[in-house]
Structure 1
């Protein structure tokens, strides 16, 4: 079950209160998990049992996604604002430089947290920010189409589609290489999360100018990319390695853009290896 924490952050218009929902389980060194745009913390459910056997795992709903409230007026969804929000979240929970793993948007945020030395290791799964302009336009167009589909489909139809492997593929094959492995309940939940994501458009709007070009020295970094990623093509991993030469670049065979569902054992092993 989700727990919520509220804390104060600075903004150009003065202090603002941010509330973030999260789930915490396991024991060991702290590990923060960050999901992608339009998703929610449950994206990590397939890997939670393994991670929680070795880490104190904190999976959050990013502000404006899942059941976390939208960012307050005066706090934009850009990296310069969201990274300090995540830092304040860690401070509110008493987390001293946790390990972090992120997927897509969460991977980009994880790398920024690493660059700011707010974490002790980074695992970035298909992180955003290493695209060409044409690749960005393709990814953003695909995400908008997914959002439109989630908004148009009535929930009863989503529920009916999710009962079959073919229906789950129709709803989620853009992000999963093996959508049939996702449970019907999870597919319904994440489709509804996409349609209700208050921060979706604002996050895409500020993402137009995002490019991660700086190194992340002084801590372990792993960049992992699914061989069947249809949203952020795997050649972007090579660019990520050039930008962060000390990073370990790992291929995830048979995995799509959200690899935690496609191969939970492999993804958990990559995260735990990085965070040792």
Structure 2
């Protein structure tokens, strides 16, 4: 089976996130957002049929948003992705709504950007599809910047992608938009849902996103004052911040991160032992080590645990090593993975150091099994 053209970024073991594009664009729409998200997620961007690198014959006349959603699910299945977070713009957002209604078991969360539960009725999109089939896309390309962005803003790469899209596939996507209307199904969406509206979006005005927010029980609505229709290209930092909060929750405080990694019992003991003499040091650890380093999404907590174990072995800090073996288990490392990390240290830190580390780790893991 021919798959949608796609790019993968980020660790294969990280939580998966699929990103959908708007009509007339390509996966380049996410160029300023996806690399940042890939620090903590397995990001998969995909192209619509006939757009970017996707084959035009993946859909044909009379296509539906359901057909596009089926192609996305086929891509996810082939990549071994069962459940995933999803974010999409315009038509890509409509695909996300379809998945949330018809395949909720596949989604962990949903973000719908500059999109709608309906796109203004059939007539407009049927007429556009017919004209594109007759005349091609050049007449639409000329107005792309005005439809997509606020005055004076442009992304030449996206305009070029619009010009190079296959007219037949573009028209089939218009057919899908013409037939799309999920307004009567929105109340059944149960996944956490973020809705992002561009305040200057003429194609899908904020009222369209507000309509979804009012109907979806677990919805949050954000309106971006500087954005029109393609918010990830025009306001990437704002979109990135919104998606990070949607995917990972609000930024974790240093104390909260310390408790999540080391456990309440350890932190409670440390605080109970705190004196005026050590108070500034405890505050330093919470603010710097836990508030800035351990909460930085560039590395996952699993990866940070691996690095920390290696550093503690190298310096012979066995008491701290025991503490961080327990932390590594909380961060999702298996005993086998911890053993593999310690075996690696034998090569680069020395066999005696690794020997002592294995003894410490074995004791801690045994205590966990019996405790």
* Same fold? TM cut 0.5: yes
Unaligned runs of 5+ in 2: 249-371
Partner Cα separation in structure 2 for residue 219 and residue 176 of structure 1: 30
Q: Is the 8 A contact 1:111 1:216 kept in 2?
A: no
Aligned mate of 1:125, from 103, 110, 113: 113
Aligned mate of 1:177, from 137, 147, 150: 150
State how 1:118-267 maps to structure 2 within 5 Å: 118-133=106-121, 150-151=137-138, 171-177=144-150, 180=153, 182=155, 184=156, 186-194=157-165, 196-213=166-183, 214=185, 215-267=187-239
- Asked which structure has the greater RCO (Cα within 8 Å, sep 6+), the reply is 1
Deviation of 1:137 (Å): 5.3
Question: 1:39-67 CA deviation, whole Å, 9 max, x = no partner?
Answer: 11111112122212221111111223221
Secondary structure of 1:18's counterpart equals: coil
Unaligned runs of 5+ in 1: 1-16, 159-166
Which of 1 and 2 has greater Rg? 2
Q: Is the 8 A contact 2:132 2:171 kept in 1?
A: no
Deviation of 1:151 (Å): 2.4
Partner Cα separation in structure 1 for residue 7 and residue 22 of structure 2: 16
For normalisation by structure 2, the TM-score amounts to 0.58
Q: Which runs of 4+ in 1 moved over 4 A?
A: 72-76, 136-150
Q: From the two aligned structures, give the one with the greater helix fraction.
A: 2
Give the number of aligned pairs: 241
Question: 1:148-197 CA deviation, whole Å, 9 max, x = no partner?
Answer: 684259xxxx9xxxxxxxx9xx6412102265353x4x145323234x35
Q: Is the 8 A contact 2:91 2:177 kept in 1?
A: no
Other-structure match for 2:296: none
Other-structure match for 2:6: 22
Other-structure match for 2:25: 39
Partner Cα separation in structure 2 for residue 51 and residue 144 of structure 1: 38
Secondary structure of 2:148's counterpart equals: coil
For normalisation by structure 1, the TM-score amounts to 0.76
Partner Cα separation in structure 2 for residue 202 and residue 212 of structure 1: 19
Partner Cα separation in structure 2 for residue 188 and residue 237 of structure 1: 25
Secondary structure of 1:267's counterpart equals: helix
Partner Cα separation in structure 2 for residue 76 and residue 217 of structure 1: 26
Q: From the two aligned structures, give the one with the greater strand fraction.
A: 1
Deviation of 1:35 (Å): 0.3
Other-structure match for 1:162: none
Deviation of 1:77 (Å): 2.4
Secondary structure of 1:199's counterpart equals: helix
